[in-house]
Amino acid sequence: MSLAATRDVTSARMRRIRPAQLAEHRAAWLLATPSLIAIVLFVVGPTLAVVVMAFTDGQMGQASFGFAGLDNFAEVFGDRVFRISALNTLSYGLMVTPASVALGLWLAVTIESLPSGRAFFRSSFFLPVVSTTVAMAVVWEFVLHPTLGPVNAALQLLGLPRQNFLSDARMVLPTLAVIGIWENAGFNMVLFMAGLKAIPRDLYEAGAVEGADRGWERFWYITLPLLGPTLVFVVVISFLRSFRVFDTIATLTQGGPRRASEVLLYTIYQEGFVFFRIGYASALSLVFLAILLGLTLLQVRMMEKKVHYS
C-alpha cells in the first residue's frame, strides 16, 4: 500500500473515532458537572468568602462592613485566648496522634493474626468511627460522671479517690485525649489492615528461612518497614483529625474549666457564632489553616526520610 493510501485509511479511521470520543467526553463532563457545581458552591465559594471576610470588620447582622487590612491578624497574634487554644490544640494532637496510631497498628496486626472472628473484631473497633460523635460524647459524660459514672465507681472499689475528669483543669485535656484515642484507633486500624493486605505472604516465609520466625522479629524486620508509606499516611491523617476536634469539646466541656480544654475550632466557633465577629473568625480560620498546613508538611518531610517506597 502506498504512503498516500495509508494516510487516507488513517484519516478515515480518525474521522470514525472522533465522534465517539467527543460523545464520551460530553458524557464525562455531564456526569461530573453536578459534583463540580457542588465543589464550587460548598468548598471554593465559602473558602473565597472566608479569605475576603478575614480582611474586613464584618459582623453577623451588620448591613455593611469595611476594609480592615491586617488588623484582624494583628489581633489574633496578640490574643491571649488564641494562644491558649492553640497550645491546647497542639497538646491534644500530640497526645492523640501517636497513641491512636500505635493502638490502631496493634489492633490491625493482632486481628489479622487471629484464626477466626476477624469480621467481628473489625466491626467492633470500627464502630466509634461511624457512630454519632455527640451521642458518644453523651455516653462518655455518663461514664465519667463524678458520682454516677462507672469509672469513678471502679476507682472507689479500688480504694482510690473519685476524680472530676471533666471539671478539673489538670485532667480535662488528657481525659478528652483518651476519648479521642478511642475514637480514632478504629479508623487507623482499618487503614493499617489495608496496608497489611498488600504485603506478600511469601516474604514472611523467606524471613522464616533467614531466621525471623518469631512474631516480634517478623513485625520489626518485615511488617513495619513495608508499612512505611501507610504509616506516613496514617500519622498525617490522624494529626489532621485530632486538630479538627470540636464535637466532644462542645458537648462535654464547652472549653472549660477556665479554658483548659478550649481548642482552635471551638474558639473560631465562639467568635463567629456566639460573638458574631465574622471578620475576626475568618482571620482565625486562615491562621488555623496555615498552622495545620505547616505542621503537616513538616511532619511529612520528617517521616518520608525514614520510609522506603517499594
Q: From CA 297, how far away is CA 309, in angstroms rounded?
A: 18
Residue 282's pLDDT is what? 94
Residue 308's pLDDT is what? 52
Residue 98's pLDDT is what? 94
Residue 265's pLDDT is what? 94
Residue 17's pLDDT is what? 53
Residue 304's pLDDT is what? 67
Q: What are the CB-based long-range contacts (under 8 Å, 24+) for 280-286? A: 280/72, 280/75, 280/76, 282/50, 282/51, 282/53, 282/54, 282/58, 282/72, 283/54, 283/55, 283/72, 283/73, 283/75, 283/76, 284/76, 284/82, 285/50, 285/54, 286/50, 286/51, 286/54, 286/73
Extract the C-alpha cell encoding 187.
479508623
Residue 85's pLDDT is what? 95
Residue 69's pLDDT is what? 86
The gap from C-alpha 46 to its chain's centroid, in whole angstroms, comes to 20
Residue 20's pLDDT is what? 65
Residue 15's pLDDT is what? 55
What does pTM read for this prediction? 0.84
Query: Running along the chain, 310 residues long, what does each successive block of 10 average in pLDDT?
Result: 54 58 80 92 91 90 83 92 94 95 92 84 86 87 91 91 91 95 93 87 72 73 83 90 92 91 94 92 94 85 63
Residue 249's pLDDT is what? 93
Q: Under a CB-based contact definition with an 8 Å cutoff, are residues 199 and 219 in contact? A: no
Residue 306's pLDDT is what? 60
